[in-house]
Structure 1
């Protein structure tokens, strides 16, 4: 009888172990994942490498540093994000490969760089489809953001923060530009393929060059003007060589803080929540900071003597018509999916309050 009780206990213990294993397998946890979850639950620290290539003093860099600091503190030692700034670990050219392969856990890079891997991201460069800051927020918080997140995840990358960089404007040293036809005959610096397409659609000749060459190129008359954000116009002192600034808000530049999907899946649900909640807070802060920074720079550029012209809202349709071929090219390349992405942007713009 005593032997029966002992055997009975052994059988019950075995069944219990099988039941637990079945539940964990049913939840999609592999043996390695089970060990990781158990280790994390027992207080084992998770170390993550985060890299970005912008200068450490840039406002987006400061936001990413704050994100890492907040996660480390809120996890109470469970997560340790080590930050490698200003291209110390990876630059913008090799960072995406490192993220997709798992050589890097978290990275911040421009969507312009990511669009070489995920062409759908080019929609953010499309001219005059996102016509205000709140339109951008609406789009990335809504259907557009969901669709772009899914495209990123197909590449083994989990998006964390859509980090606003700001709108793109035009400045030149020849004449005041108020209408699309004013671009006729001008030579304008572009910074990407889509940027060049926009300039060409407006009737100017695009010239692709690095940002470091722009100042002397305008000063020497090699080009008449350039396309960039007003923060760059101010920081690079382009106002010294270009008198006229036209605030078109034609394209919106985004950076993306994203995480290798395998690194993400190794975290416990509690750790994932800490990262997700912190990322959302930082994203909201970046949005406010970017808009405020853009407005500050415009005022300062005006104070420094630039002739600043803001295109009226009721004339945006003229610029949309002039640059329609650029949007059509994107939709042709991306098919019905591309058309849907553009529609998502236009709907977000129509619903915007500013």
Structure 2
């Protein structure tokens, strides 16, 4: 009898406990984040690759994006950011993103041209007058449609990040266009970039970003080209102390996701990730503006010889045949860029 009573009590406790657990499970499923995103659904841990150091503006943007996704899914989707080329250089990372081996990356638009020809337009020199002109285009319907073309390359464009404008710097004196003649200049792995260097009378030398410092140091190359923050953070200014400000390119950065990863996500998660990417842009652009000013001040204080180009016409005339060569291929986008100038 005592055994029977004991059994009944145990079963009753189990039933009560089961009810409590069921109630807790229901509450968790219904719980939402502060902005209304629900927490039910699959849990994910993704990786985001970046070639730049941890304190670089693009990585600050990456981390803001990851933070927003984490908050808006209540921790259900976690994105780990790997800076400083920990997962590989840009070209190899893009290939891994196409395969779905890496889920996210931040990459410059120039090497993207090797995977999606439309992005080659950003490598054409002197097509944007100012940063305002560039962002007016990027934030237009035409700019958004350009992001969408990445779907044909097994990727999904999420947002543009700022990358400033690019200039040449060298181990040798660099005060005019004539000084570039014959110099071996490192370029990103892009056909258009190689054509640009050739049009300016120099010798293009494509190589991964991580090899540039030692190549400048040993004389494998004479010069390279980049923006102020990259020139600073890479320490290239220590071995190439001459810079000329010609603003030849304003090629934006692109935050993207593997298409295979994108298709695995629910429609709601896709919206959260897309919006988080767009919302991270302001943080990245503010970080960029601050970093750019600090980098320029640091470089000048280090004794780098900096020459500003007063008259761009000789430079523009030198690259005109090259632009004409590609105009048919990019006519529609170039027309839209011209429209954004107005």
How high is the TM-score relative to the length of structure 1? 0.74
Match of 1:172 in 2: 170
The residue aligned with 1:149 is: 147
Shift of 1:44: 2.5
CA RMSD of aligned residues (A): 2.9
1:249 match: secondary structure = strand
Asked whether the equivalents of residues 187 and 225 of structure 2 are also in contact (C-alpha less than 8 Å), the reply is yes
1:81 aligns to 2:104 (yes or no): no
In the alignment, the residues of structure 2 paired with residue 109 and residue 140 of structure 1 have an alpha-carbon distance, to the nearest angstrom, of: 16
Question: Relative to 1, partners in 2 of residues 1:189 and 1:90: Cα closer, same or farther, differing over 3 Å?
Answer: closer
| Cα distance change of structure 1 residues 205 and 100 upon mapping to structure 2, 3 Å threshold | closer
Q: Find out whether 1:342 has 2:338 as its counterpart.
A: no
After superposition, residues 293-304 of structure 1 pair within 5 angstroms as 293-304=291-302
Give 3-state SS (helix, strand or coil) of 1:174's partner.
coil
String of CA shifts for 1:138-159, please: whole Å, max 9, x gaps.
Answer: 1111144133123112334322
Residues 175 and 244 in structure 2, CA contact (< 8 A), matched pair in contact too: yes
Q: 1:328 aligns with which of 317, 324, 328?
A: 324
Match of residue 44 from structure 2: 47
Counterpart pick for 2:67 among 63, 66, 69? 69
Q: CA deviation at 1:261?
A: 4.0
Which residue matches 2:19? none
2:185 aligned residue? 188
Map 1:104-183 → 2, pairs under 5 A: 104-178=102-176, 180-183=177-180
Deviation of 1:81 (Å): 2.1
Distance change >3 Å, CA 222–CA 287, structure 1 → 2: same
> Which sits farther off after the overlay, 157-166 or 101-110?
101-110
In structure 2, stretches of 5+ residues that fail to align are 1-36
Counterpart CA distance in 1 for 2:88 and 2:234 is 24
Residue pair 2:65, 2:280 contacting (<8 A) in 1 also:
yes
Post-superposition CA distance 1:322-347 (Å, at most 9, x none): 11223223335x2xxx1112222333
Hey, what's the Cα distance between the residues in 2 that align with 1:49 and 1:234? 30
Question: Counterparts in 2 of 1:29-40, with a 5 A limit?
Answer: none
Query: Are 2:231 and 1:228 equivalent residues in the alignment?
Result: no
Find the residue that maps to 1:294 and give its secondary structure: helix
Partner Cα distance (1:271, 1:83) in 2: 17
Q: Residues 90 and 244 (structure 1 numbering): CA distance in 2 closer, same or farther, change over 3 Å?
A: closer
1:324 & 1:280 partners in 2: Cα distance?
35
1:66-104 CA-to-partner distances (Å, cap 9, x unmatched) read 211221112224x41231514556653443344344444
Contact 1:245 1:307 in 2 (8 A): yes
Corresponding position of 2:312 = 316
Q: 1:105 to 1:222 in 2, by over 3 A?
A: closer
Q: Distance in 2 between matches of 1:211 and 1:195?
A: 14
What is the distance in 1 between the residues matched to 2:87 and 2:244?
37
Verify the 8 A CA contact 1:190 1:226 in the aligned structure 2: yes
Q: How many residues align?
A: 303
**Structure 1 CA distance for aligned equivalents of residues 200 and 72 of structure 2:** 50
